[in-house]
Amino acid sequence: MKVLSVTAEVFPLVKTGGLADVAGALPAALVAEKIEMRTLVPGYPGVLAALEDAVEALTYGDLMGGPARLLSGRAGGLDVFALEASHLYDREGNPYLNAAGVDWPDNGLRFAALARAAADIGLGKVRGYKPSLIHGHDWQAGLVPAYLRYDDASGPPFVLTIHNLAFQGRFPREQLSAMGLPDHAFTIDGVEYFGDIGMLKAGILMADRVTTVSPTYAAEIASDAGGMGLGGLLKARGEALVGILNGLDTTVWDPLSDPLITKPYSAGRLSGRAANKAALQARFGLEIKPDAPLFGVVSRLTGQKGLDLLLAALPMLLEMGAQLVLVGSGDAQLEAGFAATSGVAPSRIGCVIGYDEVLGHQIQAGADALLVPSRFEPCGLTQLSALRYGAVPVVARTGGLADTVIDANPMAIASGVATGVQFAPIDQVSFDEALRRTIRLYRDKSIWSALQRNGMNTDVSWTASARRYAALYRDTRAKARSSGKPPSV
Ligand code: ADP
Ligand code: GLC
């Protein structure tokens, strides 16, 4: 079965967060399920530079304001369609933001173009390639089913995955015709959303199926409290909304063969972690102290991630003899907050502001515990890497964090299943208590190494979830067929 994946970012070509990891890992994971996945991605400079054996698959005289070409080829180990449209994508840096960190003003048109191209591929306009299903990611793919619907043509079924409901893709209604949508699309049963064009809303409403990246997040968002304005619509989709946990690319994240870390190790040879901890302390200029509990953070610095709670907890952590290493970037205020802390206790706290994949791996391999105090977290991938690398995850009990970490309460410890520390409610008092509890657990070497080993033995691969996606694709296609939607190849 051929599936077209539509995404604004994909590892290793372009990445700002976990969406890229997921879009990059799924195609390989689906091979075992006999799904051939091809990825449509905007032709940013880095994508076009990586493209090999490119063939022109489609040309546009005018796609949202300029000429464009769809190029088919290989890039970063993936089969891709790159949408070359210099007026939309020929910009260096972050795919969504300008150099000042502000959304590009034409983001509506930039991703409407991506959705338009996806719909055209679905409609069979590329010679020799017609997908049986389109799988779109986040708001950037939300208009795919709208183009299929208002073209009144018979396209393949569409599955939408929500990676983060906080990003909804809202644009002024004046852009409707520039996006190539008819006036009658602007209704509550169409793309209209609180007086604007709502791309994620359109996707949720019109997709054959909606998935999100963990079962708990699926339940949280189908409610007024967690729905961020879309809770009613998500609730109305009923059983069409399901949660499928993300996996990890276990070839990229493998402590036994990771070329980015100091010394390889495994659950059976945990002693190998000590060299990674010492190297990490040295890298961040911290005192090299094998017994100091070393906390790590690898994160975007935004309100979602709850790291303001960590800033407030730092005096307590220092008092308890702990150390902290962080690599992160995002909101200016949080960046400044963490940058300032390195100066307070340089032998105990090290913060690198920026995005650094190598440091991400080294922190997972060397830190004793990884902190993820998110206020909400659709799935989260860093706690999965932490499990795999024996960095005990300390997480807020929300979304995918709730689904992937087993709290080290006395019963779970006694039963030998605990893998980390969870806290709730998500506030300062319970976060501080979780940090104190983590340090108490750390001081008990046999409990701590059991937590590490349990985590490292947890299956965080894509195997089970790839099977779920494959089953969902097949079921969606079968239902679309029986409801009279003509199937494609
Ligand atoms: P989100 O997508 O919300 O940012 P995830 O946990 O799903 O959160 O995925 C984040 C991904 O980005 C992980 O692969 C993580 O290692 C990586 N990452 C985030 N921030 C940084 C950073 N500053 N440096 C290196 N890697 C980072
Ligand atoms: C989003 C979410 C994160 C999730 C990732 C990949 O960025 O914030 O929780 O893991 O997408 O699905």
Gap between the Cα atoms of 401 and 335, Å rounded: 24
Per residue in 175-185, pLDDT (tens digit) is: 999 999 999 99
Gap between the Cα atoms of 36 and 14, Å rounded: 21
Residue 91 Cα to ligand 2 midpoint, Å, equals 24
Q: Are 117 and 184 in contact (CB under 8 A)?
A: no
Q: Is the pLDDT of residue 101 over 90?
A: no
- Our mutation pick for probing the ligand 2 site, out of 355, 375, 379, 405, counting the most ligand atoms within 8 A of Cβ, is 379
pLDDT at 485: 58
Tell me how crowded residue 175 is: count the other CB atoms within 10 A of its CB: 16
- Our mutation pick for probing the ligand 2 site, out of 7, 11, 16, 19, counting the most ligand atoms within 8 A of Cβ, is 19
Helix (H) or strand (E) holding 46: helix 45-50
Whether 349 lines ligand 1, by a CB cut-off of 6 Å, is: no
Q: How far is Cα of residue 282 from the mean position of the Cα atoms in its chain?
A: 30
* For range 42-71, the mean pLDDT: 98
Whether 36 lines ligand 1, by a CB cut-off of 6 Å, is: no
Q: Are 294 and 322 in contact (CB under 8 A)?
A: yes
Q: Are 422 and 284 in contact (CB under 8 A)?
A: no
Angle at 81 between CA 79 and CA 86, to 5 degrees: 140
Tell me how crowded residue 402 is: count the other CB atoms within 10 A of its CB: 21
Delimit the CATH 3.40.50.2000 region(s) of the chain. 2-247+463-482, 270-456
Instruction: Kindly indicate the confidence band of residue 78, based on its pLDDT and cuts at 50, 70 and 90.
Output: very high
Give me the sheet containing 170-171, strands edge to edge. 170-171, 196-198, 192-193
pLDDT at 100: 87
pLDDT at 488: 42
Gap between the Cα atoms of 305 and 219, Å rounded: 20
3-state secondary structure 389-456: HCCEEEEECCHHHHHHCCECCHHHHHHCCCCEEEECCCCHHHHHHHHHHHHHHHHCHHHHHHHHHHHH
Whether 300 lines ligand 1, by a CB cut-off of 6 Å, is: yes
Q: Is the pLDDT of residue 403 over 90?
A: yes
pTM across the whole model: 0.96
Element counts in the chain: helices (H) and strands (E): 18, 18
What is the residue whose two structure tokens read 């972690």? 273
- Our mutation pick for probing the ligand 1 site, out of 94, 297, 298, counting the most ligand atoms within 8 A of Cβ, is 298
The matching CATH number, chosen from 3.40.50.80, 3.40.50.1820, 3.40.50.2000, 3.40.50.2300, for 270-456 is 3.40.50.2000
pLDDT at 222: 97
3-state secondary structure 58-106: EEECCCCCCCEEEEEEEECCEEEEEEECHHHHCCCCCCCECCCCCECCC
pLDDT at 161: 98
Give ligand 2 pocket residues (Cβ under 6 A): 17-19, 22, 163-164, 213, 246, 377-381, 400
* For range 201-206, the mean pLDDT: 98
- Our mutation pick for probing the ligand 2 site, out of 381, 398, 404, 460, counting the most ligand atoms within 8 A of Cβ, is 381
What is the residue whose two structure tokens read 């003003």? 105
Per residue in 125-137, pLDDT (tens digit) is: 999 999 999 999 9
Angle at 248 between CA 247 and CA 252, to 5 degrees: 160
Residue 111 Cα to ligand 1 midpoint, Å, equals 22
Residue 137 Cα to ligand 2 midpoint, Å, equals 11
Name the percent of the chain lying above pLDDT 90. 96
Q: Does domain 2-247+463-482 have CATH number 3.20.20.70?
A: no
Which ligand sits closest to the CA of 26? 2
Helix (H) or strand (E) holding 467: helix 463-482
* For range 225-244, the mean pLDDT: 96
Whole-number Cα distances in Å, 59 to 130, 197, 217, 281, 482: 17, 27, 40, 53, 34
pLDDT at 154: 83
Tell me how crowded residue 221 is: count the other CB atoms within 10 A of its CB: 25
Residue closest by Cα to atom 5 of ligand 2: 18
Instruction: Kindly indicate the confidence band of residue 482, based on its pLDDT and cuts at 50, 70 and 90.
Output: confident
Instruction: Kindly indicate the confidence band of residue 489, based on its pLDDT and cuts at 50, 70 and 90.
Output: very low
Please give the mean pLDDT across all residues of the chain: 96
pLDDT at 448: 98
pLDDT at 484: 63
Token pair of 83, please? 């949408």
Residue 23 Cα to ligand 1 midpoint, Å, equals 14
